[in-house]
Chains A and B, each alone.
Chain A
Amino acid sequence: MTPGAYSGQDRDKDGAMQIDDETLMALADGELDPARADEIRRAVAGDPDLQARLHRFEETRRLLGGLRKDATGEDPLAAMIRAAAAAPHPVQEAPRPANLNRRPWLAAAASAAVVALGLGWWQWTDAPAPGIGAAELAALESLSSGQVQPLEDGGELAMIASFRASDGRLCREYETARDEVLRIVLACREGDGWQERFAATAQQGGADYRPASGEGSIDAALVAIGAADPLTPEEEAVMLRE
């Protein structure tokens, strides 16, 4: 939207201008085009109520601007960026652990060894998927991403994220931890139930950690269902209600 395209204004039957909060905020933020800003300023000038409402937006903006601190000294990453810029060839993604963006998970699963990777795809069938217990099914239906809930057998389930598959169905990624075994699952809604589309397990306690990568990785599974970015909490809530 171009500045000023937002109207947010109406006139009541006496002809007095009604100005909504979003318009006042846009004025405080310099998002209105000059003509529109002048018009609103004139209306505000003669109306103490509008002045008070505008003040809240101006003041919050001013105070938050105070959080914009100036940095002191050069950032430690500056040298790395300069080195990359000076590289004679177009920079390719530097060799790095396949799980670079898995670092927090890696930390959580520190010293876990993947003993079984998994392992592929469950076929699309009407049979209930192996491995999805009642508590997991309940979590799939209602647990928001980022939340953890206990399982009936003493384990724990962490809901990781929700996705919309290319065919529109809801798919959810979660992890369970039971007796030192981490299980990573991608399940998609199928009719009234859920189908496992991917599962991998990792045994904790090994000396090394090998990330799930290549054919059998969760990333490949997400690509295969055509998932885009994870749903926002709002989108997820809407899809869970459907």
Chain B
Amino acid sequence: MDAGFGEAMIALLPNLRRYALSLTRRGDQADDLVQQTVERAIANAASFDRAQRLEPWLFRIMRNAFIDQTRRQRREGTKIDIHEIPEALPTDPGPGLEARLMLQSVEAAMAELPPDQREILHLVCVEEMSYAETARILDIPMGTVMSRLSRARLALSERLGIR
């Protein structure tokens, strides 16, 4: 692994933290997941094709690590109220109150969606992955990306009252 690769990965750490939080919905598990992802990425840096974008490659590693982790989770429930996760809520004082309330409604509406819909919304609309990249990260056909994403968008817009 060279310094350029390292810096590129460092620049994507915020994105990894966001995706980890979206997958695990818990701050402590998300931290573990990011660390595991980074360790695996460093160990496998040689296998990364430099012609590809780094971001989808890292997301795929993270998703596989998450599946490994999930396999090992026993009783720890997945039903966590979004308001119990301070990290999941926008905390920066930047946007005005109204904008922050809107962000909170979006977070809350996302939290009510099935996990597969939440995940695809996050990858495409938050992380700005293309449909093709998303298909590779999730290991599903492009047609499935589009149908699932479209259903998720319509479900979200219903919950947010967008007509």
Q: Is the beta-carbon distance between A22 and B5 smaller than 8 angstroms? A: no
Cβ contacts under 8 Å, B71 to chain A: 145, 160-161, 173, 230
Output the nearest chain A residue to B34 by Cβ-Cβ distance: A77
Q: Give B107-155 interface residues, CB cut-off 8 Å to A.
A: 107, 110, 116, 121-122, 124-128, 130-132, 139-140, 142, 146-147, 149-150, 153-154
Supposing A29-B131, A85-B1, A160-B71 touch, asked if A68 and B126 sit within 8 A by C-beta, the answer is yes
**Which secondary structure dominates chain B's binding surface?**
helix
- Interface centre among B121, B140, B162, by most A CB within 10 Å? B162
Bound: A81/B152 CA distance, A: 35
A90 within 8 A of B: yes
Supposing A31-B130, A85-B1, A85-B3 touch, asked if A64 and B43 sit within 8 A by C-beta, the answer is no
Supposing A31-B130, A68-B127, A229-B67 touch, asked if A81 and B38 sit within 8 A by C-beta, the answer is yes
Min CB–CB distance A112 → chain B (angstroms): 12
- A37-51 CB mask vs B (1 if < 8 Å, else 0) is 000000000000000
- A–B complex contacts, Cβ < 8 Å, 16 sampled: A1-B131, A6-B146, A25-B153, A60-B160, A64-B110, A64-B121, A66-B95, A67-B107, A67-B122, A81-B42, A101-B36, A102-B72, A105-B72, A158-B74, A230-B67, A232-B116
Bound: A90/B73 CA distance, A: 33
* A91-99, A122-130, A134-142, A194-202 - the one binding chain B: A91-99
Cβ contacts under 8 Å, B7 to chain A: 82, 85
Q: Is the beta-carbon distance between A108 and B162 smaller than 8 angstroms? A: no
Min CB–CB distance A144 → chain B (angstroms): 12
Cβ contacts under 8 Å, A82 to chain B: 3, 6-7, 10
Bound: A166/B149 CA distance, A: 31
B51 within 8 A of A: no
Contact of A84 (CB < 8 Å), options: B1, B65, B142: B1
Q: Give B1-28 interface residues, CB cut-off 8 Å to A.
A: 1-3, 5-7, 9-10, 13-14, 17-18
Q: Is the beta-carbon distance between A91 and B130 smaller than 8 angstroms? A: no
Q: Is the beta-carbon distance between A90 and B126 smaller than 8 angstroms? A: no
Contact of A72 (CB < 8 Å), options: B36, B75, B92, B102: B92
Q: Is the beta-carbon distance between A148 and B106 smaller than 8 angstroms? A: no
Q: Is the beta-carbon distance between B39 and A67 smaller than 8 angstroms? A: no
Q: Is the beta-carbon distance between B39 and A148 smaller than 8 angstroms? A: no
Supposing A85-B6, A91-B1 touch, asked if A66 and B74 sit within 8 A by C-beta, the answer is no
Q: Is the beta-carbon distance between B102 and A100 smaller than 8 angstroms? A: no
Output the nearest chain A residue to B125 by Cβ-Cβ distance: A64
Cβ contacts under 8 Å, A29 to chain B: 124, 131
B76 within 8 A of A: yes
Bound: A104/B140 CA distance, A: 27
Q: Is the beta-carbon distance between A26 and B102 smaller than 8 angstroms? A: no
Q: Give B50-75 interface residues, CB cut-off 8 Å to A.
A: 64-65, 67-75
- A134-166 CB mask vs B (1 if < 8 Å, else 0) is 000000000001101000000000101100000
Cβ contacts under 8 Å, B75 to chain A: 108, 148, 158
Contact of A104 (CB < 8 Å), options: B43, B72, B95: B72
